[in-house]
Amino acid sequence: MDLVSAVALLLVTTDPLGNVPNFIAILQPVPAGRRRRVLVRELLFALAIMLFFLFIGRQLMGLLGIRQEAISIAGALVLFLIALEMILPGRGRRGDGGAVDSDPFIVPLATPLVAGPSVAATIILITSKPGGLWTGLWAVLIVWAVTFCTLISAPAILRVLKERGARAVERLMGLLLVMLAVQMFLNGLGDYLAHR
């Protein structure tokens, strides 16, 4: 997998624009002067989670005896389910995200909103390809930087897009993710049948 494909796949799964309304809602109870500090802290936690799966995820799968084909098929199924939740109205994956009474700590902002199961599966899939570690590292850093800039600018973005526009972008990302998930599934199935 080349860098452009890896970045595109990770961008769709992290969905920074789709996260804008959720981050604003979750950070609403936090005093205005602390919101940016909390946001930066949570995004750093998300980066740490992504790097953990980048460097340790494949070895962990190896210890468990999970083959590359299984990673590809499982990743495709997870991405497909996430994509359906992004597309279908009323079934948002972050529907209860606003119910946070105090400062969010790791959950739900760092994970699952930014570095959730689909992102972990995608990172493991990228690293399972030849040269995947370096491709994955650059992809993670680029996507995290884009996510950071997007979410730091969340109030301004929401003023432009409005919540309905942000949800429309999320649904479009969901459609792209369905196609990527189906392709991942077919690739994994093809590899499995070829190596039986």
Q: Are 26 and 104 in contact (CB under 8 A)?
A: yes
pTM for the predicted model, two decimal places: 0.77
Q: Which residues make beta-bridge pairs with 105? A: 107
**Dist. CA 156–CA 110, nearest whole Å:** 21
- Interatomic CA distance for residues 47 and 14, integer angstroms: 11
Q: Name the residue with higher pLDDT: 157 or 142.
A: 142
> Which among 76-90, 104-118, 146-160 has the top mean pLDDT?
146-160
- Residues 26-50 have a mean pLDDT of 93
List, for residues 164-192, the tens digit of each pLDDT value: 887 787 788 778 778 877 887 888 888 88
Mean residue pLDDT of the chain comes to: 84
How much of the chain exceeds pLDDT 70, in percent? 93
d(CA 35, CA 118): 26
Cβ neighbours of residue 184 closer than 8 Å, sequence gap 6 or more = 72, 73, 75, 76, 79, 125
Between these two residues, 8 and 88, which has the higher pLDDT value? 8
